Amino acid sequence: MKIALIGATGHVGSAILAEAARRGHSVTAIVRNPGKVSTLPGVKAVTADAADAAALSPLLAGHDVVISAFNGGWGDPDIYNKHLDGSRAIASAADKAGIRLIMVGGAGSLHAPDGSQFVDSPQFPEAWKAGALAARDILTELKAKGGTGWTFVSPAMELSPGERTGTYRLGTETPVWDAENHNRATTGDLADAILNEAEKPQFAGKRFTLGY
């Protein structure tokens, strides 16, 4: 496959990049600093601002799918607007290029047993709240738009660096809890699930999540 990857140097994006290369895909890593992209077979880096839909769309043309691991910048006081605006630009660019979008968002928009979303809980960590709200809002917009040209991915609540195990389970709107009532996964397994979705879509026009 020809994959365009946005955010290829981040915590999640670098794991997606490694897994895509391991599977033999051709990957265009769209980044601000190409020098930070890992040197891997089948990977080329190009420079672009992900928040500029007009500039981004031509770079996406000709790919089979765009995977976005875009992040507005944890710790940035304006992360809500930067994440929402950037995500909107990426979705718009994918539409204009006519290719499928897989967007990695947050776990805060997952639903608790009472139907509420975790990001709305008073216990939700304040440091993550603005970014989680932006991710929730772009998911709401994607669902309102409808269609099958997008998939939204909510990582596990406890996401840690680690290898691919393949032992995870998939879910949709609620966390996938383990026997100890934890929702966790490694970045390697998250990347594995995302590449599986890219190759054989199961959640077109939907959100999915994972856990052990």
**pLDDT tens sequence across 134-157:** 999 999 999 999 999 999 999 999
pLDDT digits (tens, 9 = 90+) for 46-58: 999 999 999 999 9
Spell out a b/e string for 99-108, using b for 16 or more CB atoms within 10 Å of the CB, else e: bbbbbbbbbb
Instruction: Report the C-alpha gap between 115 and 113 in whole angstroms.
Output: 5
Q: What is the mean pLDDT of the chain?
A: 97
* 3-state SS class at 135: helix
What type of residue sits at position 155?
P
As a whole number of angstroms, the distance between CA 3 and CA 185 comes to 23
The single-letter DSSP state of residue 111 is B
Q: Residue 183: is its pLDDT beyond 90?
A: yes
Confidence check: pLDDT of 74 > 80: no
Orientation angle between helical segments 79-97 and 126-145, nearest 10 degrees: 30
pLDDT for position 83: 96
Tokens of 159: 């996401």
CATH number, domain of 71, equals 3.40.50.720
The pLDDT of residue 73: 79
Q: Over pLDDT 70: what percentage of the chain?
A: 100
> Residue 19: enclosing H or E segment and its boundaries?
helix 13-22
Collapsed DSSP state (helix, strand, coil) of residue 163 = coil
pTM of the model: 0.96
Work out the average pLDDT over 17-21. Answer: 98
Tokens for 66, please give them: 């765009």
pLDDT of residue 76: 84
User: How does residue 98 score in pLDDT terms, banded at 50, 70 and 90?
Assistant: very high
pLDDT band at residue 75, thresholds of 50, 70 and 90?
A: confident
Helix (H) or strand (E) holding 154: strand 150-154
> Residue 172: which domain range?
2-211
Number of independent structural domains in the chain: 1
Amino acid at 40: L
Residue whose token pair is 């897994």: 19
pLDDT value, residue 39? 94
